[in-house]
A and B are shown apart, each in its own frame.
Chain A
Amino acid sequence: MVEIRFHGRGGQGAASACTIYADAAFRGGKSVQAFPMYGVERRGAPVQSFVRLDDSPIRARHNIYTPDHVIVLSETLMNTVDCTAGIKAGGTLTINTDKSVEQIKKERGLDGDYKIFTVNATKIAVELGLGSVTSPIVNTAMLGAAARVTGTADIKLLMECVAESAPSKPEKNAEAAKETFEAITV
């Protein structure tokens, strides 16, 4: 079983991202489950959502406390939320930021037993015209990063699911996923 936790802000599409990711993994033959941790959150408030993936049917129906992988849709979330909480030893933490891994490690004192990846999904989203400069839509871009880092979904299937789910600009959203996928080296 692989468990992934997404950190986002209300309205940023973290919950939709999890459903899209689960759909891609399902099309690749996995058993999947995606769910949001629902508060009564307003726009902009920190939210979490989750994906479970397995080769056999998934029966656990409760929250995820010790994820294998964590995806952070915007670095500023880390000012108020402990995004590293419970990451399994040897797991990963992927952050949308313009900083390098070394820089973010030093600035935020990240020294746990997990591997850190960074990607500038905001820049990619802005360049592709997803959302606006002040409020870019980064969830689809971060899906490509998730696929690369966790190795649990095929990028072609993921792009297909992104394009099917995007309410507008399906190709640009799929392209965003592809660009982050290619930007990260594991």
Chain B
Amino acid sequence: MSAAPAAPRPASADADGLELLLVPPRSRPAWRLVPARVVAMCVVELQKLRHDRTELYTRAIQPALWLLIFGETFTRINVIPTGGIPYRDYLAPGIIAQSTMFIAIFYGIHIIWERDSGVLTKLLVTPTPRAALVAGKAFAAGVKAIIQAVVVVLIAALLGVSLSPNPARLLGVLAAVLLGSAFFSCLSMTIAGIVRTRDRLMGIGQAITMPLFFASNALYPTASMPGWLQAISSINPLTYEVNALRGLLLDLPARLPLDFAVLLVAAALGITAASALLGRLSR
């Protein structure tokens, strides 16, 4: 990546109060571009959430219902083999993963909106490599997901789920949620790059969220699934996210290195696929 040449600027008397606009900012070294763009996209996401918090509140309703109604009922009837812990505890990490996945899986709609409104077009003409833009968007989706995860953890705590109070474990929870939503938002952006319209993306999003949810261990352990579903579950990143969350939040024995490795690889693959297809949205 070559640095932009410094532009010679004619000094002018008209430049009153504009002097900074006459000097182009210096380019950063290439290795700093990706983190810088990720920060820029996350800042925008947080600014938007600060201006309009409606989404935060409405998004809290569904997970609350899952935990309250589904969780309480199945805790009573006690049919799901959870290995001795109350079902509501078993369910809480699953619902954190599910509700953050729902946010991420529709993130591509933002990309299509940004494309239709010209915002994306302008971003593509800035010194931002495609992969840095996609990574930025993926982590911006992760910011939303983290806020959602915090809300669901609080709801779960209120409902009496016994969660680990260990701060290191809670940080691990945020990391798992961040990586999981990075993957699912990239999946969504990849589909956006293929279908290119909001309606089609909505349809596909609706079609895949429930299968991803049910073909994971969010509601029931993998062991109680039929063999074919176990096979699907074992390639579903949501399963690994739930595993990590369950292990961390409930202090259960877990395969954290495997779970995080799968989530990292999935996020990297997602970013690669979405950046390859992003160009299609600029045509």
A and B held together in a complex: no
What is the interface of chain B, defined by CB distance below 8 A to chain A?
Answer: none
What is the interface of chain A, defined by CB distance below 8 A to chain B?
Answer: none
